[in-house]
Amino acid sequence: MLLYWILLPIVWVLAHILFRFEVIGRENLKAVRDGRAYVIAPNHIANLDPVLIAITIFDWKRLRILAKEELFKNPLAGWFLRCMGAVSIERGKGDTTTVEKLTNECKNGTGIMIFPEGTRVEEGENVDAKAGAAMFATRTGVPIVPMYIPAQKHWFRPTTVVIGEPYYPQIQGRRATAEENQEIAREIMRRIHALGGLPQ
């Protein structure tokens, strides 16, 4: 945790010099920062996205970022990602231990970041959303904050990130069905696409 507090401002300064981040909708994130947890749900364009999101949010309370296991195979990259709060998850293998651990952390006030697409997707490409972000939100009762990251990021030129209004998904019973989570996941992607002005 100490390394996170040391690394975050350093990386924040470097990233703002290189990419000149501009954030639209920061007030939407402030609306849910009252000690409760939340689920950040951004689109996924590049491997650097988890770090860019941590910088954009800039929360001294470390965010838990779900990242694919392959990103941790490089020792330096794995060390850095873990310092930034990233947790590796084995895609397609039903990693219930990690899911339960993060669910409990979320219930205790820790924010979670998860890509609804589940993998990197080219801007404009249409893929069916994964239900992970919806599942965490419906299990813990926390809001989902959609976020749009542009595909084009040019050095020393402005990069605009858009944060959407908190989304409070509704379910019929005490626990969401697979169909409800899937429909919520699709709604998250519709909101992300709307933030970027993309076809829905």
Q: By C-alpha distance, which of 75, 77, 52 is closest to 63?
A: 52
Rounded CA-CA distance 118/166 in Å is 20
The alpha helices in 44-85, defined as continuous H runs, are 49-57, 75-83
Rounded CA-CA distance 114/118 in Å is 8
Percent pLDDT > 90 in the chain is 30
Specify the pLDDT at position 173: 87
pLDDT tens, residue by residue, 5-29: 677 777 777 777 777 778 899 899 8
Beta 112-113 vs 64-68: how paired, if at all? parallel
Specify the pLDDT at position 93: 63
Rounded CA-CA distance 155/137 in Å is 35
Structural domain spans, the chain: 2-195
Asked if the model's pLDDT at residue 60 lies above 80, the reply is: no
What CATH topology corresponds to 2-195? Answer: Glycerol-3-phosphate (1)-acyltransferase (3.40.1130)
pLDDT tens, residue by residue, 76-128: 777 877 877 788 877 666 678 888 888 898 888 888 999 998 888 877 677 78
Residue with tokens 């639209």: 24
